[in-house]
A and B are shown apart, each in its own frame.
Chain A
Amino acid sequence: MTDKFTPVANILKQYEYDPSKLIPILQKVQDAYRYLPEDVMRYIADELEISPARVFGVATFFAHFAITPKGKHIIKVCNGTACHVKGSSFLINTVKDKLKLKEGQDTTEDMLFTLECVSCLGACGLAPVMVIDEVVHGQVTPAKAVELLDAVMKQEAQHA
C-alpha cells in the first residue's frame, strides 16, 4: 500500500532514522516531493523523535529548502558577483516578465515554473549563468533566456 508518506518513510529508513542526518534527509525528501510539505516535515519529526519546530527551523534556515510547492521546471539565475556585473539582474527581470511573475512571487500560477535567484553556481567563467532543470547555460543574454524558456513552454504545450 502506498500513500503520501511512503517516499519519506523509505528515505528515513535509508538514513536509519538518524536525527543527525536531518539535512540530507530533507534534501532527499525535497527531491521526492519537490518541496517540504508541512505534514511530511511533521512525519519526519515524529520518526526522528525531534520537535517539529526544530525541523521547521532547519528547513527555513537554508535557502535551498522550499516550504511552499515548487514548479515542475526550476530556473536558477545566478546573481553572484561575476554574474551580477555581467548583467544577471536584467536576466532576472526578463524571466520574471516572460513568466508573468508578480512581486514576491517565484512560482507560476500553473505550477510549471519556479524562478530561483541563487548566489553563486561556481561557474563564474560562464557569467551570466542560468540553469534550467539542472542544465547549465552560459553567457545568457535576455534574448537567449526568452528563447530557452520558449523551448520549454513549447514542449509543455505539446504534452498538454
Chain B
Amino acid sequence: MEKEQFVTIEGKRVPIEGEKNLLELIRKAHFNIVTFCYHPELAAYGACRLCLVEVEGMGIVASCTVPPKDGMKVRVNSDEIRKLRRINLELLLSSGNHDCTLCSKSNNCKLQKLAKDLDVTEIRFKSKKLDSHKDATSPALVRDHSKCILCGNCVRICNEVQGIGAIDFAFRGFRSKIATAFNKELGQSHECVSCGQCARVCPTGALMPNSSEIEEVFKAINNPAKKVAVHIAPAVRVGLGEIFGLPQGQNVDGKIAAALRMLGFDYVYDTAFAADLTIVEEATEFLERFKKGTNLPQFTSCCPAWVNYVEKFAPEFIPNLSTARSPMQMMGPVLKADFEERGGKREDLVVVAVMPCSAKKSEAKREEFYVNDNPDTDYVVTTVGLARMIKEAGIDFVNLENEWFDMPFGTKTGAGVIFGASGGVMEAALRYAVAELDPGNARSVKFTSLREPKVFKEKTVTIGDVKIRTAVVSGLKNARKLLEDIKSGKDHYDFIEVMSCQGGCVAGAGQPQFDGWAPRKVRAEGLYQEDTELAYKSQDNSGVTALYGRILDKIGGPVAHKLLHTHYESKKFRVGEERAD
C-alpha cells in the first residue's frame, strides 16, 4: 500500500486525498480562507492574491495554484501573510466604489465579508478617479465597473462553462476592465445570451441581474385600476428559503403564496401549471414529429438563454427547436385571455413572473410576445428580487403560515414541478409520451438516470417496438459539443432537453448565489420531493384539461398555436456576410 501523504498546515497534519491544490487542502483543514478568483467550477487563475500562504522552502505562494506535496509545511497566518492579505484587500478596496450601504449586493458580497472579517476600518491608499458608468442596457443584467475587482470569474465561466466568450479582459493597467467585444454595452452584445452565469459567480456587486422592474411591480400593485397576477417558477420555491435562513432546498411554496398575498398581488398562481401546459403541447409536437420522422431531434425551448444561443450561434438548428413557448410565456397569454373572457381588458391585467433566471427578463421583452404594445408577461422578478420585495414590505417570512395558490392556475402535477431541475422537462415529457403511447403502463418507466447530478444524461424509452432516444444536457458548452456530435453524425437522438445553466433552473442567475454541485442537488431534491406528493403526469392536471375546454380548444389547434407557440429567427452576426465566400 502506498504511504499516506501529509501536508502540515499551521502545525496540523492534513492528509492529501487527491486535492488539486494547496488551497483545497487548507480549506479541508477548516481554514476557510476567503478568495475571489478561486471558484470550484472554474480553472485556477491566481489573480486575487488572497490565498497567499507561506510554504517552507518555497516562500510566499498563491495556494490555489500550488499542488500539495508530501512534507510541505504551510503557514496560513504568519505575520507576513496577515500583513500581505490586508494590503491586498486594501488595494482592492481602494480600486473601486465599495460603498456597501448603497449596494444591492450588501450582506451577500465576498469583498464585504472579508473586509468585515479582517476588520478593515481605513484604507491607506488613495483612490483614483473611478469609472462610475453603469451599464443597464441589457434587460437581463446590470454591470457596474466601479465595483469590479477583476477576479475574472465572469470571463472564465462565460468561456469555460458556457463556451461563449461574450466578455473578456480588455485594456491594460489602471484602465483594465471586463468588456464585451469592442467595449459595447451589454445590451448591444452580439454574443451575450443573458444566461447570467457571470452574475452567479461575481463575488461583488459588479454584475447582477437587472432588478429595475421591482419598482414597477410595486407601482402596479398600488394602482387601483390594475389587477396584478403573479406566478412563481418551480425552482423559486426551493431557492428563496435560504435567503431567510431556512435550510437550503426547503420547499417554501406555501410561505411564498402567503407572502405574495401580503404584498398585495390579486392572483397568486404557480408556473408549474403552465409547465404542464407546455408538456401537453411540446410532447404532442414531439410525438407528431417522431411519427413523421421530421425535424428530429426535437430540442426543448423552455430555456430562454438556450433559445438565444441557437438563434445567435446555431441557427441551422432552429427547425429542431420545439415551437412550444416556455411555461412563463404560456402563462402570460393564458391569464390575459382568461381575464378578457371574464370581461376584463387585456391591459388591465398585469402579469408578474417570479423566475430563478436573468434570461427570462430578456425573453419577456421579445417583440413576438407583445400584442398591441402590451406584453404577455409585464414584469419578471428574480428569486432574489422577490426576497427584496418581501424584506422591503417588512413581511416576517419565516413565521408565515402556509397558504395555497389560487385556482384554477395554481393546479399542477409533479411533472410540472420537476421542470426546475435538469432532466425534469425530459422526464415530464416522457411521462406524457409513455402514457399516450401505452396508456396501460403509464408508470412503468423509471427515470433514475435523468435525475443524476450530471451535465449529460441519456435515457432510451422502449414501448413495444418503439424506441425513443433522449438526452439531457446542461451548460451551453456541453450543448454546443452535443450539437457538433449530432452534425457529424456521431450521436443520434429523438428528443433533447437543453438547459443553459449546469443543473438546470435551480442553478439560475436569479437564485441565491452558491458554489459547487451540492446546492444544485439539494434544491433539485426539494422539487422531486414535491413531485411525490402530486399527480404523476401532465395529462392529470384538471385545470389544464378545463382550460382546453374553455379557451384553448384542441391540443396543437389554431387557438393553442396562437397563444402557446412561437417562432424563432437567426440572429447570427457575421461581418462581411456580403463577401464572396
Contact = CB atoms under 8 A, between A and B. Distances in A.
A42 B170 contact: no
23 contacts: A3-B576, A4-B576, A38-B182, A40-B575, A42-B181, A43-B576, A45-B181, A51-B165, A51-B181, A51-B191, A52-B182, A52-B190, A53-B165, A53-B180, A56-B170, A56-B183, A57-B168, A57-B170, A60-B172, A60-B183, A61-B170, A61-B171, A61-B172
A50 B165 contact: yes
Contacts of B116: none
A39 interface: yes
A45 to B, nearest CB: 8
A50 B181 CA distance: 11
B179 A46 contact: no
Given A46-B574, A57-B170, A61-B170, A52 B181 contact: yes
B548 interface: no
Given A42-B181, A45-B181, 13 more contacts: A1-B580, A3-B578, A3-B579, A3-B580, A42-B574, A42-B575, A43-B576, A46-B575, A51-B168, A53-B179, A54-B165, A56-B181, A60-B170
- Sorted nearest first, the 8 A-B pairs with minimum C-beta distance are A51-B165, A52-B181, A53-B168, A57-B168, A39-B575, A53-B181, A42-B575, A5-B576
A67 to B, nearest CB: 8
A86 to B, nearest CB: 26
B182 A56 contact: yes
Interface string B168-192: 1111100000011111000000110
Interface residues of B, number: 23
B161 to A, nearest CB: 14
Interface of A: 1, 3-5, 38-43, 45-46, 50-57, 60-63
Nearest to A45: B181
Interface in B538-581: 574-576, 578-580
A150 B166 CA distance: 47
Contact of A41 (B165, B169, B182, B580): B182
Contacts of A50: 165
Nearest to A55: B181
B164 interface: yes
A75 B229 CA distance: 66
B450 interface: no
Interface centre among B159, B180, B190, B576 (most CB of A within 10 A): B576
A57 B182 CA distance: 8
B168 A56 contact: yes
Nearest to B163: A51
Q: Is the interface of A mostly helix, strand, loop or mixed?
A: helix
Contact of B579 (A5, A38, A51): A5
B151 to A, nearest CB: 16
Contacts of B182: 38, 41-42, 52, 56
Contacts of A5: 575-576, 579
A57 B168 CA distance: 6
A9 to B, nearest CB: 8
B150 interface: no
Contacts of A43: 575-576
Interface string B131-169: 000000000000000000000000000010000111111
A63 B578 CA distance: 32
Nearest to B177: A60
B182 to A, nearest CB: 5
A53 B172 contact: no
B179 A57 contact: yes
Contacts of B165: 50-51, 53-54
A100 to B, nearest CB: 26
A53 B171 contact: no
A29 B190 CA distance: 23
Contacts of B168: 51, 53-54, 56-57
A139 B259 CA distance: 78
A52 B167 CA distance: 9
A137 B172 CA distance: 30
Contacts of A52: 181-182, 190-191
A118 B396 CA distance: 63
Contacts of A40: 575
Contacts of A62: 172
A62 B181 CA distance: 16
B326 to A, nearest CB: 27
Contacts of B164: 51
B407 to A, nearest CB: 48
B135 to A, nearest CB: 14
A5 B577 CA distance: 11
A4 B579 CA distance: 9
Contacts of B574: 42, 46
A57 B169 contact: yes
A53 B167 contact: yes
Contacts of A38: 182
Contacts of A42: 181-182, 574-575
B462 to A, nearest CB: 39
Contacts of B575: 5, 39-40, 42-43, 46
A51 B166 contact: yes
Contacts of A63: 172
B19 to A, nearest CB: 31
B580 to A, nearest CB: 5
A60 B182 CA distance: 9
Contact of A60 (B171, B191, B580): B171
